[in-house]
Amino acid sequence: MKSSAANKKYNTSITFEKSMIAPCGMNCGSCIGYMRPKNKCPGCRFVIEGEARVHCVIRNCDLLKKNDSKFCFDCQKYPCQRLKQLDKRYRTKYGTSFLDNLMMIKLNGIDYFLTFEKKRRKCPNCGETLSVHRDSCLACSIILNNNGL
């Protein structure tokens, strides 16, 4: 059963799209900043009037702008120190690896990764989208184990 209070606070009915996958491998659709209704982050690939709205060092990297895929895995400095630090923090705190995500995208394609994310980020109780930043479902409040399932 879904908690109506939780649903009003966060958008958990998200369909993952290619444009939601950040250059670093983050699925912006599972980010708490993207899911919140106030001061919502539009995602790392959102651009308005030629400028990215997200002020991320990786997103705004000059080397990233030079590669065709627009993913960090095609950079001559991959993995750079910034990406390694971000990956370590997310592996430690949230049980997800951007380096693993990027390798999956590079080896299997973005559509494969989106299918994987749809399964990985789906609440087993209510079916809503899980946030990578929480250990419980924002829609039904079920407590999840370390890998989100």
With bands split at pLDDT 50, 70 and 90, how would you rate the model's confidence at 149?
Answer: very low
The residue type of 112 is Y
Say which residues have a Cβ less than 8 Å from residue 91's Cβ, sequence separation at least 6.
97
CA distance 135 to 114: 21
Peptide bond into 124 cis (omega under 30): no
Under 8 Å between Cβ of 19 and 43: yes
**Residue 114 or 146, more confident:** 114
CA distance 108 to 30: 20
- Of residues 89, 103, 68, the one with CA closest to residue 133: 89
pTM of the model: 0.85
Spans of all domains in the chain:
4-120
Angle between helices 98-108 and 110-120 (to 10 degrees): 130
| pLDDT exceeds 50 at position 26 | yes
**Residue 61 or 129, more confident:** 129
CA distance 120 to 93: 17
| Alpha carbon separation from 83 to 22, 38, 68, 74, 114 (Å, rounded) | 12, 28, 19, 13, 21
Q: What is the pLDDT of residues 106-142, one digit of tens each?
A: 999 999 999 999 999 999 999 999 999 999 999 999 9
